[in-house]
Structure formats: C-alpha cells, structure tokens
Amino acid sequence: MLFGFPTGFVKKNTYMENDMTTELKERIIDVAIEEFTLMGLKFTMNDIARKLGISKKTIYTIFDSKRDVLVGIADRYSDDFRSMQEEIERNPDLDAEQKFERILLALPEKYYNIGLNRIYELSFKYPRQYDYLMASVNMGWQIAENYLREGIRNGAFDDVSIPVFMSMVKGTVSCFMRTSVLYDNDMTYEQGKLEMVRILMKGIKSDE
C-alpha cells in the first residue's frame, strides 16, 4: 500500500512494462500535464489521444481511467522530486543555509509551468488523487527542518521557533495547493514558492 492506495491501483503496477509501453506511458503523462495546464480538469482522454495521434483505446491499455493518469502524474512528480532532493543533500558545495533554501524551493524544472496553480481543482472531483499528489508535494519537510536546526546551531539563522517557522511554510504551501490564490493572481507554483522563501528568509521590513 502506498499513501493509502492498494497495490494495483494504477494499471502500471500490475504487469512488467516493456520499453515501448514505458515510452507510451511517459508520452501520455506529458500530454496530460500539458492539457491540465491549459484546461484544468476539463481535459479528457479524447484530448490526450487526439494530441498524441493515437486511439483512446490505446491509452486504456496503459491506464484504466483518467484517475489513473492523474496518479501517474503524481508518481512522476514524486520520483523526480525525490531525485532532486537527494542531489541537493549530496552536494558538498552547499552549506546548511543553502540546502535549506533549495529544499524549500525544490521543484523539478519540467514542472515549472505544469499548472500546479490549478491543483486545487483536483480536491473537489478527485480527492483521493489530490491527497496522493499532496503526499508527494509535502515530501522533504523533515529534511528542511533538519537543515533549519543546523543553520540555527551554526549561527546562519536566528534562533527562531522551529515549529512556528515550519508551520508557516507548510501552511503557505497548503494554501497554494488548496485554493485558487495563485491562479487568481496569475502566478505559477514556482513563482509563489520563490516569493514565499524570499519573504520568510528576508522578512517584509524595508532596509531603508
């Protein structure tokens, strides 16, 4: 069981994929991301098939439903985010302060403009898939907290309340994902996180 989903929830878990199947699955997810960015949850399997130049029946040999496509997107995000996180942790040229900031900002490049500012729509119609994706989005909080503690110990950060600071981070990201605040203000998820980190790290008081 993964994030509350039984094994086999997505068809890809029920059989060994060959290279051709894997390539097609990735192409379907690529197009699904593009369609979601443009249309939100109004995109259909027909839209994906049309853009790929294949039949809808072919898509159903890979994914059982639109719900499974959405979980496929979350799976890829989770894998890419985990790889990015590990790369940050292994980098010997980064100190605790730099690692902390990069963990907070971590977003694989391919997801910069995929419509994460419209993820709130997912919570209304596909709550289980939304929770599944949120589990991926929320990866790394404990690692970020560890770097915050290290930064406080070595004097890089002020001795702030760690529970309060991390609650501010988690609360802001949750607001981004559960409401239309980013979409309504024409901001991408990446832009929202950049502004969040800038405010948290530098404050709002002018130096002048």
User: Looking at the structure, do residues 111 and 21 belong to the same domain, yes or no?
Assistant: no
Residue 5 inside a domain? The answer is no
User: Looking at the structure, do residues 77 and 39 belong to the same domain, yes or no?
Assistant: no
Q: How does pLDDT run across 144-180, given as a tens digit for each residue?
A: 999 999 999 999 999 999 999 999 999 998 888 888 8
User: Looking at the structure, do residues 46 and 73 belong to the same domain, yes or no?
Assistant: no
**Residue 115: pLDDT band by 50, 70, 90 thresholds?**
low
Question: In the prediction, which pLDDT does 125 show?
Answer: 79
**Residue 138: pLDDT band by 50, 70, 90 thresholds?**
confident
Check whether 127 has a pLDDT greater than 90.
Answer: no
**Once rounded to an integer, what is the mean pLDDT over residues 60-73?**
89
In the numeric block, which tokens belong to residue 65? Answer: 């439903």
Task: Return the higher-pLDDT residue of 46 and 77.
Answer: 46
**Once rounded to an integer, what is the mean pLDDT over residues 138-142?**
79
**Once rounded to an integer, what is the mean pLDDT over residues 176-186?**
86
User: Looking at the structure, do residues 87 and 188 belong to the same domain, yes or no?
Assistant: yes
What is the DSSP secondary-structure string of 169-208? HHHHHHHHHHSSHHHHTT--HHHHHHHHHHHHHH-SS---
Question: In the prediction, which pLDDT does 54 show?
Answer: 93
User: Looking at the structure, do residues 86 and 41 belong to the same domain, yes or no?
Assistant: no
User: Looking at the structure, do residues 92 and 58 belong to the same domain, yes or no?
Assistant: no
Q: How many domains does one find in the chain?
A: 2
Task: Return the higher-pLDDT residue of 134 and 185.
Answer: 185
Average pLDDT, the chain: 82
Q: Which structural domain, as residue segments, surrounds residue 34?
A: 15-63
Residue 99 inside a domain? The answer is yes
Residue 20 inside a domain? The answer is yes
Residue 130 inside a domain? The answer is yes
What is the DSSP secondary-structure string of 49-98? HHHHTS-HHHHTTT-SSHHHHHHHHHHHHHHHHHHHHHHHHH-TT--HHH
Residue 179 inside a domain? The answer is yes
**Which CATH number characterizes residue 120's domain?**
1.10.357
User: Looking at the structure, do residues 102 and 181 belong to the same domain, yes or no?
Assistant: yes
Residue 7 inside a domain? The answer is no
Q: How does pLDDT run across 4-61, given as a tens digit for each residue?
A: 444 344 444 444 457 778 889 999 998 998 888 788 788 999 999 999 999 999 999 9
Residue 120 CB contacts under 8 Å (≥ 6 apart), including other chains:
177, 178, 179, 180, 183
User: Looking at the structure, do residues 48 and 109 belong to the same domain, yes or no?
Assistant: no
Percent residues over pLDDT 70 in the chain: 85
Question: In the prediction, which pLDDT does 48 show?
Answer: 95
User: Looking at the structure, do residues 136 and 95 belong to the same domain, yes or no?
Assistant: yes
User: Looking at the structure, do residues 22 and 81 belong to the same domain, yes or no?
Assistant: no
Q: Helix, strand or coil for residue 159?
A: coil
Q: Can you tell me the distance from the alpha carbon of 122 to that of 187, in angstroms, rounded to the nearest whole number? A: 18
User: Looking at the structure, do residues 121 and 164 belong to the same domain, yes or no?
Assistant: yes
Residue 2 inside a domain? The answer is no
**Which CATH number characterizes residue 57's domain?**
1.10.10.60
- The whole-model pTM stands at 0.68
User: Looking at the structure, do residues 93 and 164 belong to the same domain, yes or no?
Assistant: yes
Residue 4 inside a domain? The answer is no
Question: In the prediction, which pLDDT does 5 show?
Answer: 41
